[in-house]
A and B are shown apart, each in its own frame.
Chain A
Amino acid sequence: MIFYQFIQYQRFLTRYHSQRLMAALVGALILAAATIQVGSFKTVIRWLDVAGEGAAALLALSWLLLLLCARPPGKITNLLYSGALLYWFACLLDLMDEFIHYPMNFRLFADLESLAIPTAMLLVTLGLWEWLKEQKLINRQLKQRELVHRDYQLLDPLTQLYGEAYLVQQLQGIAQRKQPEHCELIMFELQVFGGDTPSPNHDIVCQQQLLGQFAELMLAMIHTEDVLCRCGGQRFALLLTNVTSCQANVQFQRIIETVQARLPANICRVQRSWSGAQPAAEFIANTEQELQQRVQSCQPNGYTSRDSGLC
């Protein structure tokens, strides 16, 4: 599997950054050839220094590759790439020093080595500054998916929303604030189709795709200070902050009506207020238990009817 992941990264690199990679390789080769051309090989080699500087050069190269694997082309990528590349070159020159003895009157490589690191640091700093600005906009895009924390391991791979564990962390984060906000949690289960009758065109895969679409629609409707999470199956949780119970109810009703106009779905829900007094995990477990009971009581087979809409 790790091999396959490497192949995926290699495909990404060759697709988007082949020229940058080629430039790095050619640059490194020219540098190595020039040092060999100008200097002479040392007779005594200090292997401990070689190991240390070699490791530093390898790590610098890995930073460069990881950076390119992580980012699509663009201005910030170019800045970070230039900085990382220069840093790698500086490390390479440092490593070559251990094997090659330069003439006393030839200072080019020593000067290059001295200048490359601060220039690289400057470029990386500029890149990070631009990245900060970019990240602020991306954070805004992600605001309805995450409020306080970020933990990619808690993401639901289907809808790209966070899961239940994240919701617990989110509530704990709110509870630990000096002035905890009043939260309304609406946990709901939706059924995208009227019944679970097998139908040629509506299999689980279709339903899964529709869950993704539903999540996107919901995200488009909710406020930036609200958070939507997927609690497994066809169950979601919407956390609304700084609203009264009644306002949350009205808001959710409005959102669902809009969503249902585009995507026919039956909804069964439970709404609970949370002030931080109860442990977050217990609060969510109780709410889900209640939702489960409600889902089962809605119909003998556990689902709301298509006509009933909100349960």
Chain B
Amino acid sequence: MLTSHQAHSFTGQLHAAPSNAVLHKLQHIPLLSTHHKFMRPAITRTLYRLLQMRTDDACMYLAGTKLFEADLYDDNRLISPQQLYQLIHNARRCPDPELPFLVGQQLMQSQEPLAQLLMSTVNPSQVLRAIHSYYANWHLPLQYCQLNDNNQRHLDLRRLPASAEVQQFFEKVVCGGVALWSRHHGIEVSWYLPNHYRAEHRLWQRHLGLAVHYGRQDVRISLSQPSVQRALQSNTHRPAQNMRRHCSQLSVQVPRGITLVHAVYLYLQQQPQDSLEQVANWFAMSASTFKRKLKEEGASYSKMQDDNNRYRALQLARDLGWSNGQMADYFDISDINNFRRAFKRWTGLKPSQLKADYLA
């Protein structure tokens, strides 16, 4: 559990009230739809290459993607996230459950400038900064949150609304990539996974090692700080400037922008309790247009808000050990009983149950 000092600093980071900088930045980023073609086909190509090795007629996996094989090998050709999601959906028919992990590992070992930059960087903060800065290179539909402890640095993967199979695919991709990166630098990692992954325990253990635990609602990757320090001391190599330049060049080759869903999540991190009308107004849309656009992406504002609250409530209760009163204040709920009910609606558990589970 975190110390109170850390808890405060963490809260500050979380609650960072309308950090004007973030919202101002967000206001100037064009919004994209997952039907727009703005992604480079790096992930799609990697997945397709792995599928090709597993069947004689891999082109059948392209059914419904509106892509031809040649499109995947043309870096100038952009694709939409929906096309990638369709390929992921089709790839379910391939009887190899390891594919997402292999995609993650392959991405990290590829000649992609971002992959090379990440693999040559030891400092986790710099890795996250690189991912954030050059997000346009891969457009992984996942968000992450960082949390520092005395001995561990936690990285929580948060899902953006997409189908469960797409979410799980990308969680495995990221875990596969992080596992490779941590092994490469000799960094010890513990993995905390949602319970529904328990059925595939041996698959996870095979790719991530023995330190796999369950019981969380999101995926948490915990890096051991002493091992990070050791790796930093032993690594004198600094990522070359030209890798960053390559990443920047690739980033500017694709249309600038983020998806509406991603933007709403970023907004919610700053203004968690805003109503739909307020958010729609901020995005310069009418409430009905805003709702319709989210619906087109398979999302709804209330669900996203609940998801955001769920994540925060779990962090505050479990990681920071806040009392119900503190949390009720945080969520602007005046009555403790109302807060308990809201907590149960978000997380499926009462605060006392959650704490008992955690202690157990």
Contact = CB atoms under 8 A, between A and B. Distances in A.
Nearest to A285: B202
A1 B93 CA distance: 9
Contact of B50 (A8, A205, A212, A301): A205
B49 A205 contact: yes
B186 interface: yes
B332 interface: no
Given A208-B50, A288-B202, A157 B94 contact: yes
A203 B110 contact: yes
Contacts of A301: 183-184, 186
B263 interface: no
Among B93, B97, B209, chain A packs the most CB atoms within 10 A around the CB of: B209
Contact of A4 (B60, B102, B119, B180): B60
A200 interface: yes
Interface residues of A, number: 36
B206 interface: yes
A235 interface: yes
A8 B210 contact: no
A234 to B, nearest CB: 9
A232 B180 contact: no
Nearest to A295: B209
Interface in A67-83: none
A267 B96 CA distance: 23
A229 B331 CA distance: 54
Interface string A149-160: 000010111100
B115 A198 contact: yes
Contacts of B324: none
Interface in A193-219: 196-200, 203-205, 208-209, 212
A205 B183 contact: no
Contacts of A7: 60
Contact of B209 (A3, A196, A288, A302): A302
Nearest to B54: A157
Nearest to B98: A232
A155 to B, nearest CB: 7
A169 interface: no
B203 A232 contact: yes
B117 to A, nearest CB: 11
B105 interface: yes
Interface in B54-107: 54-55, 57, 59-64, 90, 93-98, 102, 105-106
Contact of A198 (B61, B102, B116, B186): B116
28 contacts: A1-B90, A3-B63, A4-B60, A5-B57, A8-B60, A155-B95, A157-B94, A158-B54, A196-B180, A196-B183, A198-B109, A198-B115, A198-B184, A199-B109, A204-B109, A205-B50, A208-B53, A232-B97, A232-B98, A232-B206, A233-B207, A235-B206, A289-B205, A292-B210, A296-B209, A300-B186, A301-B186, A302-B209
Interface of A: 1, 3-5, 7-8, 153, 155-158, 196-200, 203-205, 208-209, 212, 231-233, 235, 285, 288-289, 292-293, 296, 300-303
Given A204-B105, A205-B53, A288-B206, 13 more contacts: A1-B64, A4-B60, A5-B57, A8-B57, A157-B95, A158-B53, A196-B183, A205-B49, A208-B50, A208-B102, A292-B210, A296-B210, A303-B183
